[in-house]
Amino acid sequence: MNKILFLSHLSQLFRRFGVLTAIAVFSSTALAQFRVDVSGVGMTQVPIAVAGFKGEETFPQKISNIVLADLERSGQFRAVSMAGMAMDELSRPDMPQLRQKSADALVAGSVTRLADGRYEMRAKLWDVVSGQDKGDYRETISQADLRLSAHRIADWVYQILTGDKGVFATRIAYITKTSGKYSLWIADSDGENSQAALTSAEPIISPSWSPKGNQLAYVSFESRKPVIYVHELATGKRKIMANFKGSNSAPAWSPDGRSLLATLTRDGGSQLYQVDVASGEAKRLTQSAGIDTEPSFTQDGSKIYFVSDRGGSPQIYRMAATAGSAERVTFNGSYNISPALSPDGRWLSYITRVGGQFKVQVMNLSTGQSSAITETSADERPSFAPNSKLIVYATVLQGREALMTTTLDGKIKAKLSGQSGDIREPAWGPYR
Amino acid sequence: MIKRSLWILALTVVLSACSSGVKLNEVPVEDKVASANEATATVAPSSMVAPVVSGNAGVQGVPPAGVNVVYFDYDSFTLKPEARAVLERNAAHLQANKTFKVQLEGHTDDRGGREYNLALGQKRAETVRRALTLLGVSDAQLEAVSFGKEKPAANGADEAAFAQNRRVEIKY
C-alpha cells in the first residue's frame, strides 16, 4: 500500500519536473523551426544527450534537434542538455560530466558536404554508464534526404537502446483544409517536410497506405460524390478504384496489397465489399439491414474489424475475412467507431462517445479491457505506427483541428506541427 | 404577380432547355485521371511525391423552382411533414422530365467520425430516394450519395447550425 502511494507521488513529481525540463530544453534551442510539445512523462525513460552535429549549423533544421525530438516523442527517452559541450563522433566524451548530468546515453555526429554535392552523415552512440562505445552510423545521402537520414539515426539509436524497431523514418499521410481548399499531404513521422500529393476544391477523406507504402487509397469528392482512388505517390498516377452508383468510401488495403476493403452503397445501404485492385470488381462481404462501414484487415488477413449499427447503435465487430457471422467487440457506450488494429495484433484503438465527447480508446485484445488515453473531446481516426508503440490521431486543440501522437498508455503526447490551418485524417505509413 | 412571372420564367427556362436538343443531364464524365497521369507522370526518386490538382466535374441539370432541400431531426432518418411539398414538387418535375437525373446528397451535422457520418448521410439520402420512388419517379433517375459532415450548410456549433446541416439536397 505504502509503496504504491509512494510511487504515485513520485510519478506526480516526475510529471511536473519532466514538463519543466522539456520546456527548458526546447526554449534553449529556440532556433528550431519545429516543436514537440511533450505532455506528461513516463517512469522508465532513458536520459539521453544528443550533441549538436558538427556541420549542421548551415541547415535550417538541426540534425541533432530532429534526432532528439524523435526520441522524446517515442516516450522512451528524456532529453539531457548538452549545453556547452561541443563534440562530434570522433571526440572523446567527457563521461564524468555526462554522468553528473545523469545522462545514460550519448549521441554525437557530423554532417559533411562531399565534392559531388551529396552529404556524409556520421554518428556514434555511447553508453555513458559503462563508458562503452555502442556503435557507429554512416551513410551518404542527397541534400533532400537530410531529414530522412536524421530520422534513420533516431531509429538506429532507438533500436540499439530499446531492442524495438523505430518508426521515425516512416511517413504519415494527412489532409488539410485551408480556405476551402483540401490537400492530401505526405509528411515525415514528425509531421514535417510535407509534400502535397493532391489538391482539390472538394473534400478528401480516409487515406489508407498500401502495404508497400508506395500508394495511397482515399476518398475524393471531386466529382461531387465519394469515389475511391488509388494514387501512386512517386508519379502522381491515379486510378479510380471504386465509382459505383451511390457512395464509395472507407478504403482499407489487404495485407497482400491485391484488394481493398470498402464501403459501397450500390445495392442500397452502406455495406462492406472487397474490391480487386487489378480488375476493379467488387464482391459483397456483409448482408445487414443497417450500416456496415470502416472495415480493416488484421495484419495476417484472417479477420476484418468494422463498425455496424446492426445492434441499434454503432459498435465495433469482427468477422472472418471469408465473411460469415460477426462477433461484437465493443460493449461499453452507445457510439464506438473508427477501429484501428495494431500491427502486432495486440491492441485495438477506436473512438468512443462519452457524454457528448469523442475520445481515443485503446483496448487490450487479449483481456478486452479498454481505457481512454486523451484529455481532448473531439478525437478522430486513430492510426497505429508500424511498431505498434505509438498512435497518431486527429483532435481539436484551441479551436483548430490538429494531429497528435501518443504512446499507448497516453502518457507521452506530441502535437505534430508541420502545417498551419486545420489538419485531419492521419494515416501512419508502413516501414520503408 | 412577381411570383407568377418568376414561375413563368422558370418554366420557360425549363422548356427551352428541353426543346434545345441539348440533354443537360448527360454531361460527359470527364476522365480526370488520364489527364492527371499525363501531366505528372515523370521519373522521380522514391521519396518524392508528385503533386496533383484535381478537377471538378460540375454536373448540373435544371431544378424546379423553390427550395430543394429536406431537413432531418438529430439522429433521425424519417421524413418530417415539411418534406412532403418538396418531394412532391421534385417528383412531378422528374416525371415530367424523364431524361433528368438527380443526385440526392445526404449531409449530417459535424459531430462524430467522418466515415460514420458519411454512412448516416447516406441513410438520409436513401430515405429520400425511396420516397421519390414511391411518388412514381424512376429509380434510374435517382442516385443517393453522401457528403457526411464534409459540406456543412451552416458553420457553428449550436443546434441552429446543426439543424441546417442535417439535410438531403436534391441536386440537378
* pLDDT at residue A291 in the model: 97
pLDDT at B60: 54
DSSP A92-126: ---HHHHHHTT-SEEEEEEEEE-TTS-EEEEEEEE
- DSSP letter for A56, please: G
Give dist(CA B117, CA A26) in Å, integer.
40
Q: Find the CB nearest A235 among B44, B145, B148.
A: B44
* pLDDT score of A294: 98
Domain contains B104: yes
Give the pTM. 0.84
Question: Does residue B159 lie in a domain region?
Answer: yes
Comparing CB atoms, the residue among B33, B59, B171 nearest residue A238 is B33
Judge whether B35 lies within some domain: no
The DSSP H or E segment spanning B132 is helix B114-134
Q: Which residues contact A144 (CB under 8 A, 6 or more apart)?
A: B45, B47
pLDDT of residue B52: 81
Segment 212-271 of chain A within 8 Å of chain B by CB: 214, 220-226, 229, 231, 233-240, 245-247, 249-250, 263, 265, 268-270
Phi, psi of A11, deg, nearest 5:
-65, -35
E-only strand ranges, chain B: 52-53, 69-71, 102-107, 142-148, 167-171
Per the structure, the count of domains in chain B is 1
Chain A residues whose CB is inside 8 A of the B55 CB are: 222
Could you tell me the CATH number of the domain that includes residue B129?
3.30.1330.60
In a domain, B133, yes or no: yes
Residue B23 is assigned to a structural domain of this protein: no
- Of the partner residues B53, B57, B113, the one whose CB lies closest to the CB of residue A381: B113
d(CA B151, CA B148): 7
Residue B46 falls inside a structural domain: no
pLDDT at A166: 97
Output the pLDDT for position A41.
55
Predicted local confidence at residue A60, as pLDDT: 86
Q: Is A286 on the interface with B (CB under 8 A)?
A: no
A247:B118 CB<8 A: yes
Low-confidence ranges of chain A (pLDDT < 70): 1-43, 418
Distance in angstroms (rounded) separating the CA atoms of residues B42 and A354: 49
Positions in chain B short of pLDDT 70: 1-47, 55-61
Q: Is residue B2, in this structure, part of any structural domain at all?
A: no
DSSP state of B89: H
| Burial group, residue A42, by CB count within 10 angstroms (0-12, 13-18, 19+) | middle
State the Rg of chain B over Cα.
19
What confidence score (pLDDT) does residue B160 get? 95
Please spell the DSSP secondary structure of A393-408, one letter per residue.
EEEEETTEEEEEEEET
B165 at A interface, C-beta within 8 A:
no
**Which residues span the domain enclosing B154?**
60-172
Residue B27 lies in a domain: no
- Asked if B115 and A223 come within 8 Å (Cβ–Cβ), the reply is no
Can you list the domains of chain A with their CATH numbers?
Answer: 2-162 (3.40.50.10070), 171-428 (2.120.10.30)
Cell numbers linked to A164: 524495438
- The answer to whether the Cβ–Cβ distance between B50 and A233 falls below 8 Å is yes
Residue carrying the nine cell digits 541534400: A143
ipTM: 0.88
B45 has a chain A CB within 8 A of its CB: yes
